Every structure is written in C-alpha cells, then in structure tokens.
Amino acid sequence: MIKVTFIEYNGTVREVEVAEGTSMMEAAVGNLVPGIDGDCGGACACATCHLFVEPEWLDRLAPAEDMERSMLELAEGGGPGSRLGCQIKLSAALDGIVARTPLGQH
Amino acid sequence: MSATSTASAVPRAPQGAAYAIPLEDIDVSNPELYRNNTMGAYFERLRREDPVHYCAKSLFGPYWSVTKYKDIMQVETLPEIYSSDSRRGGVTILDTNSAVQLPMFIQMDPPQHDEHRKAVSPIVAPENLLRLESIIRRRTGEALDSLPVSEEFNWVEKVSINLTTQMLATLFDFPWEDRSKLTFWSDATLELPGEGLVDSEEHRMQIMGECAAYMTRLWNERVNAKPGADLISMMAHDDRTRNMSPEEYLGNVLLLIVGGNDTTRSSMTGGLLALHGNPGQYEKLCANPTLIASMIPEIVRWQTPLSHMRRTATQDTVLGGKNIRKGDKVVMWYVSGNRDEEAIENPNAFIIDRARPRQHLSFGFGIHRCVGNRLAEMQLRVLWEEVLQRWPKPGQLKVIGEPVRVLSPFIKGYESMRVRIDA
C-alpha cells in the first residue's frame, strides 16, 4: 500500500492508503477527500483533480505531458506544484507523497 | 437502482419509426425530433448499428454523427485534429447562422483560446462563487416567494428565465432595468429564423448590432474606470483581451450570454420535469434533501441542455473505424453519449443518487469544457434547496400537461412548462 497525505486549503490533513497503481485523483475521490472531483474519470479531460504537489516530491514525478499541460492552463489558481491528480500514478517511489488541495475545482 | 438495471442489458426488439427507415436516411439534426422529443430512438439505433454515422443530406449540409461516449471523448481530447475554429465552421451544426460564426473563445483553437478564456475564467473561481451564492440565494427566495400557489403558471418564465436573467445581469454588472435585453439577445443568437424572434439572418445581425452598440457603450465606460469585478471590466482591463476586435468582443459577449442563459434555464425546467416524471425519486429527495448534491449533476446529464457540439476535421483521420476527411463536419451528440449504456449504467433512468453523477458529457470535456459549470451547478443547487424549504412534500410541485420544447438540434430546452404548486 502507498501512503498519501492530502492537505486541504484550510490546513486539514488527511492520510490515506491506497494500492500501488492507483492515481492521486482516485486516492482522493475514493477516500472522500474534499476539493478533488475527477469529473472525467481520469481521462485528463476536465482539470477537476487539480492539486499542488509539495516541492520535495515534485522532481520524483514524471513531467506533465502536453495534454496535462494544456488542461492545467484552464485550472484556476495554478502555480508551483500544479498537477492533475489523475496523471500521477502512485508507485513505491511515491510512498509518502504530500499534496495540497484547492478550495474547489471548476 | 437495481430494479431496472438488468432490463437495459436485454436487447429489445427494434421498433418504431426510427427502425423503419434505411440507416443512411437517418438525420438526427432534424429540429422536429427535438420539438417532439423523439430523437432518443434514432440515437439508440445509431449507437447500436452505426455509432459514427454519415448523413449526406440535411438542413445543415452533410455531417458525421458521433454517438458513443468513448468516441465523443476521443474527439474532445484531440483539438488539433478536431478544430473549433469559427473560420472552419465553429462549434455548432448551424453553419448558416451568422451570429454563431463570430469569433469567440469557444470557437478558437489554442493558443488564442487559452488567452481569451483565462481573461474571464476568474469570475467563476471558487472564491467568487462563494461571494455570489448569497446573492443568488436571496434572489431565488424572492422569485419563489412571488409564485402563485394553487394556480397554474409558466415555470420557464417565472422561475427559469427570471433567475438566469438576474444572474447574467449580475455577472455583466448590466443596467438592471434593461436586463431582459440579455435574454432577448441570447434567444436571438440561436433561434431558427421564422420561429418568432428573428425573421432572417439579416434581421438577426441587426439585433446583434444593437447588442454590440449597447455592450460597446458599457466597455467604453469601464475601460477608463477602476477595474470592476464584472465580465466586461475583466475583458477591458486584461492585457490578453483589451485589444480584441469589435467582432471578437461581440462574439465573446454572446458566448457568455448564451452560455450562462439558455443552458441553466433548461436545466432549471428539466429538473422539475424529471422529478415530476419520477415520483419515486421525488419522494427519495424529500426524505433526504442532502441528495440535492448528487441530484444536480444528474439533472444536468438527464437534461443535456446542449444536444451537441461540433468540430471540423483539420486532416484525414479515422474515428470508430470510419474515414473522416479533412474539412468534414463532425458532430458530437452529447444527448446520445449521455444515454450510452456502455458508459452509464441504466442511462435512460433519472436516478438522483448515482455513484458517479458527474461523469456525463453535458459540460463537454477537454480544453473547451464549460467554464461556468460550477456556477451553473450552484444556481441549480440553491434553487432546489430553496424550493424544498418552502414546499417539502413529494409531488407538491406538479407539471401540468406536456411542456413545449424548443425547435432546435442545438439548444435542448423548453419554451414553456405549466406548473401548479399545491398548498
């Protein structure tokens, strides 16, 4: 199991454990973490799983592909660490990853 | 949920008019199908027999129909192959409509699309939605309190149009006493000529000219004033949009008016129609009003306020095994994808507590996904919260007779719907 920590916009911390291969979006939606919606079901097509990966974890992720980058352009309040949760597949190397979630998606 | 879910797995014997004509004669763009609400069986047949379907002759010329959820998703996520550019034909099947051919960001490809969209998207940022919610709640309450009880009235006019017009006026900071103009311009943008509002394309552009003149006056007032929190100020003060051409400005204004008006209006009406037709769901809702949260996206799926979006192929390509040629018109029928049994369980049923209610096509997907989708959901949520506060009993709001539906293969909405509220 992979441990994932989500920090809500108001500081609430939630730790969840999910199976390897799960995406960050699925880890959030499957554990009712607020602020992550995942409307398109993981097709990188809605930008409603926008989150902010903490700096120390960023360089362990594969870089965003074109599709993710263009969808991130649409996400409100983008900034350092902005990623789409559906595009981050959790592996053993990411055990313990920490990400912040926004107030809401749109 | 389980009572009828097995039924959809059993193939029914094809029947009715949709199966009585040769496949190649099926033209799902025929506006009459939407006025009569009979398009469903044609789409059901296409999903089964010819999911990517070519229609050689229609009111709107030759076009491809994409009817399955997964194929629609493929088109949505390949904007470089399936263009939205107004110069190629834009995003609706209505080629002949001069207003919808204007440049507007929904009808631009990247990178210009991204720039224009980013100038206006902060209006629906989560923080701003929180600010707007109290205004919306107060106005919704006032509109509901003014409704007659125990007598028939037109829900479309008194509730749906009334509330969406007020919302638009707020977003544009539009002169309040003139706000019905917004609704008029919205309707005049899309209505087929001869249906009552516009006589011809020339007449349509004359009305659009009036809209442009009015909106240009507001722009000129605001461009030199302190930046306000309204859409016109946002465009006038943003480096990405301040130098738009007059056509681009009018195009974007019409996009925001139509996008924020017809669609939410239709879902406000469709939601009540769906509850009325599904008394079991109405009872479930009244017993547990927290289900409003999952009911709202289900209403938006069930209604599908825009029947389609259109793209134009920029190159030869293959979709669902069919050869699409460069320049071909490709129509994604959301109204069909939202009833696709391979993507959505028991899709013809209205179920207010679905497990994944937001997995529907009504807002589109990809870079052109509806920018106002969370605002629309909030307006609908507040409406139903306030309705249940006042009239908490199942069936207390009754639809009388059949609603009158809009004659259009694009706007899927209602001209009128008679309703009576029981005391």
Digit-coded pLDDT (tens) for B400-421: 999 999 999 999 999 999 999 9
Q: Helix, strand, or coil here: B234?
A: helix
Task: For residue B142, name the pLDDT band (cuts at 50, 70, 90).
Answer: very high
Query: Could A73 and B118 be called an inter-chain contact, meaning their C-beta atoms sit closer than 8 Å?
Result: yes
Shortest alpha-carbon distance between residue A5 and chain B (Å): 23
Per-residue pLDDT at B118 exceeds 60: yes
B365 in contact with chain A, both atoms CB, cutoff 8 A:
yes
Q: Which of B118, B124, B365 sits opposite A40 (nearest CB)?
A: B365
Whole-prediction pTM: 0.92
Query: Could B121 and A71 be called an inter-chain contact, meaning their C-beta atoms sit closer than 8 Å?
Result: no
Give the pLDDT confidence score for residue B278 in this predicted structure: 98
Chain B residues inside the 8 Å CB shell of A47: 369
Per-residue pLDDT at A34 exceeds 70: yes
B47 in contact with chain A, both atoms CB, cutoff 8 A:
no
Q: Calculate mean pLDDT across residues B374-383.
A: 95
Q: How far apart are CA B116 and CA B187, in angstroms?
A: 24
Q: What is the DSSP letter of B330?
A: E
Q: Per residue in B351-369, pLDDT tens? A: 999 999 999 999 999 999 9
Q: N- to C-terminal Cα distance for chain A?
A: 31
Q: Is B40 exposed, middle or buried (0-12, 13-18, 19+ CB in 10 A)?
A: middle
Query: Could A74 and B117 be called an inter-chain contact, meaning their C-beta atoms sit closer than 8 Å?
Result: yes
Q: How far apart are CA B119 and CA B331, in angstroms?
A: 28
**Mutate: best of A10, A46, A87, partner B, most B CBs <10 A:** A46
Query: Could A102 and B126 be called an inter-chain contact, meaning their C-beta atoms sit closer than 8 Å?
Result: yes
Task: For residue B4, name the pLDDT band (cuts at 50, 70, 90).
Answer: very low
Mean pLDDT of chain A: 94
Query: Could B110 and A70 be called an inter-chain contact, meaning their C-beta atoms sit closer than 8 Å?
Result: yes
Task: For residue A81, name the pLDDT band (cuts at 50, 70, 90).
Answer: very high
For B245, other C-beta atoms within 10 Å of its C-beta total 9
CB B198 within 8 A of CB B98: no
Shortest alpha-carbon distance between residue B74 and chain A (Å): 10
B372 CB contacts (<8 Å, ≥6 apart)? B124, B259, B260
Query: Could A76 and B367 be called an inter-chain contact, meaning their C-beta atoms sit closer than 8 Å?
Result: no
B293 CB contacts (<8 Å, ≥6 apart)? B381
B106 CB contacts (<8 Å, ≥6 apart)? B84, B91, B113, B255, B259, B368
